A and B are shown apart, each in its own frame.
Chain A
Amino acid sequence: MRHSIAIVSLVLFVLSMALLLTLAKQAYIPRKEVRDLAKIYLNTTYNPWNKKFTAMSPEGVTAIVWDYRGLDTVFETAVFYLAIIGSIALARGIGKYSKPTSDEKKLGLSLIVKTVTRITTVSIIAVAVSIALHGHLTPGGGFQGGATAAVAPLLILIAFSQYFLLERGVSKDLMLVIRSLGLAGIGLTAIAAYFIGVAMNKYAFVLQNQAKPLSEVSIPAYIDGQLISGTLWFFNISEFFAVMAGFTIVLILLVIPERAFKSSGGEEK
């Protein structure tokens, strides 16, 4: 009873406060014009007539994430991995643990859930890869694709039990390798333009995508007639693998059974 009174009074407060603000002409009205900075982004994100400043990506958000503010995103990836590394450090010192039963049918949820998971997992992976690969053309990108793909191992862990994944080779160590490959891909793509510049004896920047007024080095925007927006496509693929593997590591660590912690010692006294 007390809770419902609190909720009703809160809702009434919000409704009446908004009415009061509107009557007092203090309403929140978005402007019809965006800021000048946003206009520069929108005008140069895909602009074949302005070769000196364009990012050659029809998707403004991905262009900002990996081109205009690329260094910012590299550091955000570092923050993301600090959280993952923190989780791995918390799960240290766990001894080996064995399967409770060898009969796979007894593990996990019922047959209906397992069958539905078999079907949906494939479609989740397909959608995630599509989101990541088209990140420079349509809304999406490496971050979103990776986060979507991490749902598939989560479903398998819950519906089939973790031994199903581990026996098929999807272990923490494999995911650490994939994560490292993804991060190495991001690093290599970031310095690609610089080394092309060194080879051609021209000036070039780290995290450069298309040619800029000060440096003519440019990663090709089209490959075989397909728009890949230079570095953006490679960044998206690398980030997809990095984010997907990072989430999968934490999810695998989260479902470690209680007895593994009990047997490892140190945690329990």
Chain B
Amino acid sequence: MIDLVDYFLTLIVTAMIVNLGLALYGIFFRPSMIKKIIALTILGDTANTFAIILGYRRWPSPKTPSRPPVLVNYTDATPDTLKEFVGRAVDPLPQALVLTAIVIGLAVTLFMVFLTLQIYRAYGTTDMRKIKKLKG
């Protein structure tokens, strides 16, 4: 008999790999620049989710779920609570990398939207096949 938790975790990873493929298809084969930007954001978000799931840790026991890397009761922390925190918290490093990647991704997306808008103003189209043939 299969373990349902294993099945759903594998389902998430498989779906994300298929998502990466779909996003790459959108970037390379869709002619509209807007569709390319949408596909690029999907690619970026999938990559971020991959990083997050790599840093996840299994529940140490069914009664003690893994928790975010934030020490909530820092005012009355003792060496014991710190040890329990280290034993349960997930890996903070992927989260720190993803956090900046999201904001930079938003800025780059805004830049590309602006670029597409200017191309539309200059050429009257966002279709890559037509822009390629235009001159000046």
Count residues of A near B (Cβ-Cβ below 8 Å). 70
- In the complex, A37→B6 CA distance in Å? 26
Q: Which residues of A contact B91 (CB under 8 A)?
A: 34-35, 38
Given contacts A27-B7, A29-B6, contact A139 B70 (CB under 8 A): yes
Q: Answer whether residue A22 sits at the interface, using C-beta atoms and an 8 A cutoff.
A: yes
- Of the stretches A106-114, A117-125, A250-258, the one at the interface is A250-258
Given contacts A30-B53, A247-B110, contact A37 B104 (CB under 8 A): no
Q: Which residues of B contact A30 (CB under 8 A)?
A: 9, 53, 56-58
Q: Answer whether residue A147 sits at the interface, using C-beta atoms and an 8 A cutoff.
A: yes
Q: Which residues of B contact A243 (CB under 8 A)?
A: 103
**A43-90, CB < 8 A from B:** 43, 45-49, 58-61, 63-65, 69, 73, 76, 79-80, 83-84, 86-87, 90
Q: Which residues of A contact B60 (CB under 8 A)?
A: 32
Q: Which residue of A lies closest to B73 (CB)?
A: A58
The reply to whether A144 and B99 form a contact with Cβ atoms under 8 Å apart is yes
The reply to whether B18 and A61 form a contact with Cβ atoms under 8 Å apart is no
The reply to whether A10 and B10 form a contact with Cβ atoms under 8 Å apart is no
Q: Answer whether residue A23 sits at the interface, using C-beta atoms and an 8 A cutoff.
A: yes
Which of A31, A34, A58, A147 is B70 in contact with, Cβ under 8 Å?
A58
Which of A10, A21, A43, A90 is B86 in contact with, Cβ under 8 Å?
A43
Q: Answer whether residue A269 sits at the interface, using C-beta atoms and an 8 A cutoff.
A: yes
The reply to whether B118 and A267 form a contact with Cβ atoms under 8 Å apart is yes
Q: Answer whether residue B131 sits at the interface, using C-beta atoms and an 8 A cutoff.
A: no
Q: Answer whether residue A17 sits at the interface, using C-beta atoms and an 8 A cutoff.
A: yes
Query: Chain B interface residue count: which class?
Result: 35 or more
Q: Which residues of B contact A19 (CB under 8 A)?
A: 2, 7
- In the complex, A137→B58 CA distance in Å? 25
Contact string, B74-115, partner A, CB cutoff 8 A, digits 1/0?
Answer: 100101001001100111110110011011101110110111
The reply to whether B93 and A227 form a contact with Cβ atoms under 8 Å apart is no
The reply to whether B58 and A18 form a contact with Cβ atoms under 8 Å apart is no
The reply to whether A80 and B6 form a contact with Cβ atoms under 8 Å apart is no
| Least distance between A88 CB and chain B CB atoms (Å) | 9
Q: Which residues of A contact B113 (CB under 8 A)?
A: 254
Q: Which residues of B contact A69 (CB under 8 A)?
A: 96
Q: Which residues of A contact B38 (CB under 8 A)?
A: none
Which of B69, B107, B110, B122 is A42 in contact with, Cβ under 8 Å?
B69
The reply to whether B11 and A34 form a contact with Cβ atoms under 8 Å apart is no
The reply to whether A27 and B6 form a contact with Cβ atoms under 8 Å apart is yes
| Least distance between A59 CB and chain B CB atoms (Å) | 5
The reply to whether B69 and A65 form a contact with Cβ atoms under 8 Å apart is no
- In the complex, A14→B10 CA distance in Å? 10
Q: Answer whether residue B128 sits at the interface, using C-beta atoms and an 8 A cutoff.
A: no
Which of A58, A147, A268 is B74 in contact with, Cβ under 8 Å?
A58
Q: Which residue of B lies closest to A249 (CB)?
A: B110
Q: Which residue of A lies closest to B118 (CB)?
A: A90
The 10 closest A-B pairs by CB, nearest first: A60-B69, A60-B92, A58-B71, A64-B96, A27-B6, A58-B74, A38-B91, A83-B107, A18-B11, A83-B111
Q: Give 15 new A-B contacts, CB below 8 A, not counting A17-B14, A42-B69, A69-B96.
A: A18-B10, A26-B10, A28-B6, A29-B9, A38-B92, A38-B93, A45-B71, A46-B71, A59-B70, A60-B96, A61-B96, A84-B111, A144-B99, A144-B103, A267-B121
B interface list, Cβ under 8 A from A: 2-3, 6-7, 9-15, 18, 22, 53, 55-60, 68-72, 74, 77, 79, 82, 85-86, 89-93, 95-96, 99-100, 102-104, 106-108, 110-111, 113-115, 117-118, 121-122, 136
Q: List 5 A-B contacts (CB under 8 A).
A: A38-B93, A47-B82, A60-B89, A69-B96, A269-B136
